[in-house]
Amino acid sequence: MPSESLNARWISLGKGLGDWRLLSLVVTLAASLWCLAPSRAQAGSLVPPKDAISDHQARHLLARLYSYSESTLSQAEAEYRRLIAMTPANGELSLELAEVLLRLGREDEAQKLYHTLDQNDPRVAGGLGDAFFASGRMAEAATAYQRARDAGSQRPDLSLRLAQAMAWSGQAERAAPLLAELHAAHPADVEIALLYSRALAQAGDTRRARAVLDQLAAAAPDNATLLFELADLEAALGHASAARKYAMQAVKADDTRQARLRLAQVMTLWGAFQQSVAIRREHVATQGPEPQVALALAETLASAQRYEEAEGVLRVELMENPDDTQARLALARVKLQEKNGEAALAVLAPLTKTGSDPRVEALRAQALTLLGRYAEAVAIWRRLAHDDPAMLVELGRALERAGDELAAKDVFDRAYGLDPDFPPAHYYAVMCRPDCDPAALSRELVHTEKDAADLTLWADLFSRDGHHAEAIACLEAALGHDPQFFPAHMALAENLAYARRFDESLNRLDGLATDFPDSSKVLLTRARVLAWAKRYDEAIAAFEALHAADPADPVPLREMARAAFWDKRGQHAAEIFDRMLEPPVDELLAERLEEELDANRGDAQLAGAAAIARRSAHGGTIFQAYADLSETEVARTHPMAFAELLPLYRIQHATALERRAKMAAFNRRFAPAMNDLTALTDLRPDNQEAWFDLAQTQCALGLCEEEAATYERLLEIDPQHSLAGQALERNKRRSAPWLRAGVNLWEEKGRGNLANMVRLRNDLQVSLPVQCGLRVDATAHRWQEMPQGPSTQYHALGGTLGFSGVFNEWFSGQAAWTAKRFGTADPKDTDQYRTRLELNLHDAARLGFGYERVDEVANRFALLKGTQSDHFLVDARVPVGRRLDVEASARHIEYSDNNSGEAAHLSLGYALTDHPRMFKVILRGDYRHTRLRSQEIDTAGTVTDIIHPYWTPQGYLAGSATLEWYADLAEDFFCGAKQHFVDVRLTGATGSDANNSIQLEAEWVLDITDHWGIEARGLMHRSPEWDANGFWTGVRYGF
C-alpha cells in the first residue's frame, strides 16, 4: 500500500519534468509493464515467470502513472473505474480514484466515494476533509481533518489544513492553540503567522494578534500583505485612522490593481465611498467584468445610498451570469434598502423555486414586513428562528407589527434567556415591558457595559426608537472605553444632529473631516447637518464640493437642490435639479440604439426604436422614450443597452418628479404636487424627503387622515425622522377635541346716526372631531349690545352649532346656525345662518359659493327692529406663482326691510420678501350699490327712526393700498407646527365719497405648549365719516 505522501511526491515529479516528459515516461513504463504481464512471459519473454506481474497489477500501476500528471487525470479515472469494476471490494482503488476525482475538481463525487470507505482510515478522513475544504464546507472539513489527526495521520500539511478549516468556519478559539504550535515551529512562515493573527483577532485577543503582525512587519516593513493584514485587524476593531494609515502604506509599497481593490474594501470603514467606487469602476473598465468586483462595487454604491447605480451593476451582472445567486441576493437587499418590498420579492422569486435557503427566506420575510403582510412574515421567522437569538428578535418584531404584543414579549424573553449578552435581545425584552424606562436602561449600560462595539449597537437600538439622549449617553461611554472607535464617533455626530444639537454635531464632524478628508460619508453628513441647522449657504457649498469630487454621484446634487428649496431659493433649486437631467437618458438611448443599428442593418424594429428615442430627445421629454421602449421587443433583443442605462433612467425619472412636485408646492400648487409626490414615493419608497413633502401637501390641502398615514409610513422607514414624529404628534393634537374662551369687542361711530354702537361678546366653545378633518363646534355666547346715546344696554344669550371640514382634495365646506335670544319683545330674537362650499380647481384657483344671514346692528334702530341681511356670494382666489395673489368676490344682498344691494371687490397682493419675514403690498378695489338709501325720521330735532338703518352707498367705488408685515416666529416651519406669528397691516383708502381713511390691524398668535394657545387681534379705523375699533382675544386648550 502506498504511503500518504506518495501521490504528492509523484505530483512534484510531474511538475519538475514537465507533462510531456512524464507522458513519455508513462508510455515507456506501460510498455515495460505489459511485457512483464504473464501472457507475455509465456510467449517467450526473457522475464522469468516468478518475476512476472498480473494484468490487474499492470493496469493498477498504469492508472497510478496516469494520475501523476494533470494532463492524464482523465485516463487515470478511466483505468481506475475498469479496475474497480473488476474488483469492487478493493478499497485501495476507490481511495485512489477519490483522490483523482478531487484533483479533477469534482468534489461532490469524491465525497460520495469517500463515504463508502472506512471513515477511521486516516487517509480516507484526510481525503474527505480535502473534498469538503475544496467545496467550501469548512466546518465539515475541520471535523474530517480532526478525525484523520486522531487516527494518527502523518500528513505534513494536515495540522495547517485543520487550523485553516477551523479558522474559516468560525472556530477561531479552537484553531488558535493549533496555530500557536505551528507558529512556534515555523516562526518565519508568513502564511501561518497571518492565519494565527486572524484567529487571535476573531477570538477577541487583538493584543496578541497585533503583536504577531508587528513582529512580521518589523522584519518586512514594506510587505504590502502584512500591512493590509494590519489594516484589516484595525478595521475589525473599528479603528479607522490606523486602518487608513496601514492601507495607504500598503498601496504605496505595492501599487497594483489587486492592492487598490483591497484598499477600496478597507475604505468603506471610514466612508470613503466615492474613492472606493472610482477604484472598482476603473478596475472593471480596464480588466472587464468580474463577479466579485461587481458585487463589491454594488455594495459600496448601496452604502453610499446610490441605489439606482447599485441596481444597474447587479442587473448587468445577472444578465452576464443569470445563475449568480450572490448577485440576486445582493439585488434583493438593494430593493429592501429602497423599501420596495414588491420589487424585492420579484427579484427573489427565481430562488424560491430551488428550495428553502435561509438567506432567501430571511429576505422574503423582510419584504413581506415592508408590505404589511405580517402573518406571512411571522410564519417565515417561526420556521427560521429555532434557538437563534437574532432570528427570535426578528420574529418578535414581526409579531409586534402584527399587533400580537403578548406573543412578541414571550419571544423577546426567550431570545434574552438564550443570550443575555446579545444587545437586541436584551433591549427588546426590556422595552416591551409596560413599565420600561429607556433612561434608566441607558444609565445602567453606561456603568456596566465596557465594549465599545456593543455600546454603539445599544445606541443604534435606542436611536431607532427616537431615544436620542439615551443613544448619546451610550456613544459617549463607548468613546470613553475606546477613543479610536470610528463607528461611535460617526453615530454620536448623527445622534447629536437628530437631537437638534447642531453645533455640537458639526464640531465633531469638522474634526472627522480633518482626520478623514476622503470620507464622502463624513462630508455628506456634515453638509446635511448644516442644512438642518439652516446654515444653507454653507450647506450648498459643501454639497457642491462633494459633487465636484465625483460628478457621477447624484446624491450631493439632489440634497443640494433640497437645501436650496428649504432656503426658499426655488429657481436656484430647479437649476440644480436640471443639472441632474443632463444629458437626457433618451438622448443616450438613441445613441446606443443607433450604434447597434449600424451593426444590424435592416432591423426595422431597431430602426423604429432609435427614431422614437431621437424624437423624444429632441422633444425634451428626458426619459419617456426609455420608459415606453423598455416594454417592447427591442428591449428584449437588445437588453444590455437598456440595462446599462437603467440607473440614469431611474435617477432622471425620480429627479423630474421631485423637481416638478417641489416647484408646484413652492408656488402653492399643492394638489398637483401631491399627485407627483405620490408617484415619486411609488417609484422610490425610500425617499424620505418625498414622503415628508407628501404629508405637507396633504396638510396644506386639509387631508388630515392621509397626512397622518403618510407620517406613519415615513416613521416606519426612518424612526429617527424627528420632524415626522413632531408633525404626527401635531396632527393628533389638531385632530383632538379642544376648548376655547374668547372675548370680542367692537365699537363704531359715524355716517350720521347709522353707526353708533358698542358690542361685547363672550364665547365659550367646544370643538369635537367627527373624523380627522371634520369637526362639530358648539359655542355658547353672551352678548352686550350698547348703542351710544340715551339708551340702556341690551343683553342676549345664545349659541352657535357649526360643522366644518375638508371632504377631499376638491371640496371643503362649512355650515353654522347661531341663535340669539334677548328674552324680551325688543330687541327681537334673531337666527343667523352661514354655509359655504369651496371647490379647489387643482390649486389653479379656489372657487367659493356661500350663503349668509347676518344681523345688521350698527345702531339702536337696527338692533330694536332685528334688521338682517341675506348674502348670496361667490368668490375666487388665484395664486399666481409664489408671491402674487389675485382675489375677487361678488355678492347679492337682500335686506329684511325689502331693500337689496350688490357688492364686489378685486385685490392683488404681492410679497416683496419671502417667509418667514414677509413684506407684502396689497392693492384693492371695491364696488357697492344699494337699491334704496337709508332715511332718518326726525321729530322735533330728534332722530326717532331710520328707514333702512344701515349704510346704503349707491354706485360707490373705492380703492385701497395695504402694507403688510408678517413675521413667523415659530421654532419649526412646517405645516401643522406650533404657531407663533405677528401680522401687521396698514391700509390707506379713498372712495368716490371723498372719505379718505387709514386703518391699522395687528394680530398675534402663540401656541404656548402642545395644549395651550392664545390669540389677540386688534383694529383701528379712522376717517372723517366713520371711526371703528375692534379687539378680539381668545385662549384655547387642546386635549
Q: What is the pLDDT of residues 205-260, one digit of tens each?
A: 888 888 888 887 787 788 898 899 899 989 989 999 999 999 999 999 999 999 99
Judge whether residue 601 has pLDDT over 80: no
Q: What is the mean pLDDT of the chain?
A: 90
| CATH 1.10.10 fits domain 500-567 | no
Q: What angle do CA 389, 395, 400 make, to 5 degrees?
A: 125
Judge whether residue 1017 has pLDDT over 80: yes
Judge whether residue 42 has pLDDT over 60: no
377 Cα distance to chain centroid: 21
Judge whether residue 445 has pLDDT over 80: yes
- Which of 174-178, 306-310, 452-456, 901-905 comes out lowest in average pLDDT? 174-178
At residue 789, the pLDDT reads 65
At residue 738, the pLDDT reads 95
**DSSP per-residue codes, 242-290:** HHHHHHHHHHHH--SHHHHHHHHHHHGGGT-HHHHHHHHHHHHHHH---
CA distance 291 to 179: 32
271-354 with 372-436: one CATH topology?
yes
At residue 590, the pLDDT reads 92
DSSP H or E segment with residue 473:
helix 468-481
CA distance readout (Å), 177 to 122, 152, 168, 203, 226:
22, 19, 15, 11, 22
At residue 6, the pLDDT reads 35
Q: Average pLDDT for residues 905-931, to the nearest whole number?
A: 97
Judge whether residue 3 has pLDDT over 60: no
At residue 215, the pLDDT reads 82
CA nearest neighbour of 788 among 932, 943, 996: 943
Split at pLDDT 50, 70, 90, the class of 735 is: confident
User: Measured on CA atoms in the order 148, 149, 155, 157, is the torsion positive or negative?
Assistant: positive
CA nearest neighbour of 748 among 758, 738, 736, 737: 758
CB 1016 within 8 A of CB 1003: yes
CA nearest neighbour of 943 among 749, 754, 758: 754
Within 10 angstroms of residue 198's Cβ, the number of other Cβ atoms is 23
Judge whether residue 27 has pLDDT over 70: no
C-alpha cell at 878: 388665484
At residue 165, the pLDDT reads 92
Angle between helices 273-287 and 257-267 (to 10 degrees): 150
Q: What is the pLDDT of residues 764-811, one digit of tens each?
A: 999 999 988 899 999 999 999 999 765 678 999 999 999 999 999 999
β-strands 900-911, 917-930: how paired? antiparallel
- Which of 13-27, 117-131, 587-601, 728-742 comes out lowest in average pLDDT? 13-27
Split at pLDDT 50, 70, 90, the class of 52 is: low
C-alpha cell at 765: 366653545
Q: What CATH number does the domain located at 736-1038 have?
A: 2.40.160
At residue 847, the pLDDT reads 97
544-557 exposure pattern, b = at least 16 Cβ within 10 A, e = fewer = eebbeebeebbbbb
At residue 4, the pLDDT reads 46
Q: Average pLDDT for residues 380-384, to the nearest whole number?
A: 94
88 contacts: CB under 8 Å, gap ≥ 6: none
109 Cα distance to chain centroid: 47
List alpha helices for 550-638, DSSP H. 554-566, 570-580, 585-599, 604-619, 624-629, 633-637
Split at pLDDT 50, 70, 90, the class of 434 is: confident
Type of residue found at 745 = L
Whole-angstrom Cα Rg for the chain? 42
C-alpha cell at 1033: 382675544
CA distance 844 to 995: 37
Q: Average pLDDT for residues 392-416, to the nearest whole number?
A: 94
413 contacts: CB under 8 Å, gap ≥ 6: 429
Place of cell 365659550: 764
Counting residues of the chain whose pLDDT is more than 90, the rounded percentage is: 73
Query: What predicted TM-score, i.e. pTM, was given to this entire model?
Result: 0.82
| CATH 1.25.40.10 fits domain 271-354 | yes
CA distance 605 to 234: 57
Split at pLDDT 50, 70, 90, the class of 940 is: confident
At residue 603, the pLDDT reads 81
C-alpha cell at 107: 468534489
Judge whether residue 819 has pLDDT over 70: yes
3-class SS at 907?
A: strand
CA distance 483 to 485: 6
Q: What angle do CA 731, 737, 738 make, to 5 degrees?
A: 100
Q: Average pLDDT for residues 126-149, to the nearest whole number?
A: 93
Q: What angle do CA 296, 302, 304 make, to 5 degrees?
A: 105
3-class SS at 97?
A: helix
At residue 49, the pLDDT reads 60
Place of cell 438567506: 359
Q: Average pLDDT for residues 659-672, to the nearest whole number?
A: 95
At residue 19, the pLDDT reads 47
Provide, for the chain, the percentages of residues in helix, strand and coil under a 3-state DSSP scheme, each rounded to the nearest 5. Answer: 55, 20, 25
CB 161 within 8 A of CB 144: no
Domain ranges of the chain: 1-104, 115-169, 271-354, 372-436, 438-494, 500-567, 581-660, 668-733, 736-1038
Superfamily classification of domain 668-733: Tetratricopeptide repeat domain (1.25.40.10)
Q: Average pLDDT for residues 715-720, to the nearest whole number?
A: 83
**DSSP per-residue codes, 33-96:** HHHHSHHHHHTT-SS-GGG---HHHHHHHHHHHHHTSGGGHHHHHHHHHHHHHH-TT-HHHHHH
CA distance 166 to 153: 18
Eight-class DSSP state of 204? T
CB 985 within 8 A of CB 963: yes
Question: Facing residues of 759 across strands?
Answer: 746, 785
Q: What CATH number does the domain located at 372-436 have?
A: 1.25.40.10
Split at pLDDT 50, 70, 90, the class of 48 is: low
Higher pLDDT: 665 or 172? It is: 665
At residue 35, the pLDDT reads 45
Rounded to the nearest 5°, which phi and psi values hold at 468?
Answer: -75, -35
CA nearest neighbour of 381 among 398, 395, 364: 395
CA nearest neighbour of 511 among 553, 483, 540: 483
